[in-house]
DNA sequence: GGTTCCGGTTCG
DNA sequence: CGAACCGGAACC
């Protein structure tokens, strides 16, 4: 079985492929063996807002959402902003961690061949079909909570929600065009419908669990659990367990890890 | 100053 | 409609 696990991270101070040193106290994907360094321009997948060696802000998801709980239920707020364009609309940055963002360009597709460096004319100006960011493709910015929006989810949320109408459907509409994504953290999207089973007294689905895990790990963990003496902390989303149970324990599991060095 | 490539516009 | 095109900001 391929090495997917945690062992060996402790003494690694730089990526064994791209040789970039890991800064201390930073969030990194799979610190031991950067799978993305195959693409020189994207040697690591950085996580959340942080700083790199040059103290420069790392390119990060622009639509991560903060969460707060109250008697009203949960409130999601998007704090970050995207890049404004001349037309007043915003141009989203790629998320940096989806399958597309982790892929190298193929050099063979329509858009690759359009690039001048492959001899093309540069008229199409799109990224490689394999590199297309999954969190941009298929979603509009309006699918997410916006800056300063406060979107509440609660059992009797119909009257309560101000900026986004929340209707918790009982049956899951698989490809509804009215999906609203309340929250996004690294690798997780939260849909309104994800809460249906919660408020029906049934179960927490994986999306909620993973969103909460990432949120705790990135936002609450540093303050509340600094008394723990470990240096390295690892977060394994439920996806990892699912893959293990399916016998799919391969190197791709590394991509789901969040690793934190205190 | 070159590359990337989103997002809007125009075309067929 | 989708495909082609293009402006232009970000990043190097
Ligand atoms: Zn390609
Ligand atoms: Zn992405």
Does the structure show a pLDDT above 60 at A8? Answer: no
- Read off the tokens for A165: 């109408």
* Selection from A91, A24, A20, A11 nearest residue A261 by Cα: A24
C-beta atoms surrounding A249 within 10 Å = 16
Contact A251, A4 (CB under 8 A): yes
A10-14: long-range contacts at Cβ-Cβ below 8 A with a sequence spacing of 24 or more?
A10/A231, A10/A232
Element (H, E) at A38: none
Lowest model confidence (mean pLDDT) among A14-28, A116-130, A156-170, A197-211: A156-170
| Tens of pLDDT, residues A64-109 | 555 665 555 555 555 444 555 555 666 777 766 677 877 788 999 9
How far, in Å, from the CA of A98 to the mean position of ligand 2? 4
Give the ipTM: 0.93
Within chain A, where are the H helices?
110-114, 196-199, 206-215, 221-224, 238-245
Instruction: Considering only CA atoms, name the residue closest to the C1' of nucleotide B5.
Output: A126
Alpha helices in A21-170 (DSSP H): 110-114
Q: Is residue A67 a contact partner of residue A74, using CB atoms and an 8 Å limit?
A: yes
| Contact assessment for residue A72 and residue A160, using Cβ atoms and an 8 Å cutoff | yes
Distance A42 CA to B1 C1' (A): 22
Residue A191 alpha carbon to ligand 1 centre in Å = 31
Query: Separation of CA A144 and C1' C10 in angstroms?
Result: 23
Question: Would the pLDDT of A262 be above 70?
Answer: no
């Amino acid at each position: 079985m391929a090495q997917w696990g945690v062992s060996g991270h402790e003494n690694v101070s730089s990526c064994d492929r791209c040789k970039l040193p890991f800064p201390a106290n930073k969030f990194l994907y799979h610190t031991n063996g950067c799978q993305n360094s195959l693409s020189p321009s994207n040697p690591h997948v950085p996580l959340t807002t942080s700083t790199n060696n040059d103290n420069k802000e790392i390119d990060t998801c622009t639509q991560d959402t903060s969460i707060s709980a109250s008697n009203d239920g949960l409130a999601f707020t998007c704090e970050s902003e995207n890049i404004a364009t001349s037309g007043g609309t915003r141009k989203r940055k790629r998320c940096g961690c989806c399958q597309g963002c982790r892929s190298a360009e193929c050099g063979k597709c329509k858009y690759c061949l359009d690039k001048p460096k492959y001899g093309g004319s540069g008229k199409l100006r799109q990224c490689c079909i394999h590199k297309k960011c999954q969190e941009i493709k298929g979603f509009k910015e309006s699918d997410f909570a916006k800056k300063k929006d406060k979107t509440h989810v609660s059992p009797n949320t119909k009257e309560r929600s101000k900026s986004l109408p929340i209707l918790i459907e009982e049956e899951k509409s698989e490809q509804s065009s009215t999906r609203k994504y309340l929250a996004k953290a690294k690798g997780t999207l939260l849909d309104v419908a994800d809460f249906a089973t919660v408020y029906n007294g049934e179960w927490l689905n994986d999306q909620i669990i993973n969103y909460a895990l990432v949120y705790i790990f990135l936002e609450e963990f540093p303050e509340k659990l600094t008394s723990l003496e470990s240096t390295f902390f690892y977060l394994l989303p439920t996806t990892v367990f699912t893959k293990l149970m399916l016998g799919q324990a391969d190197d791709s599991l590394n991509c789901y890890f969040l690793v934190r060095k205190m």
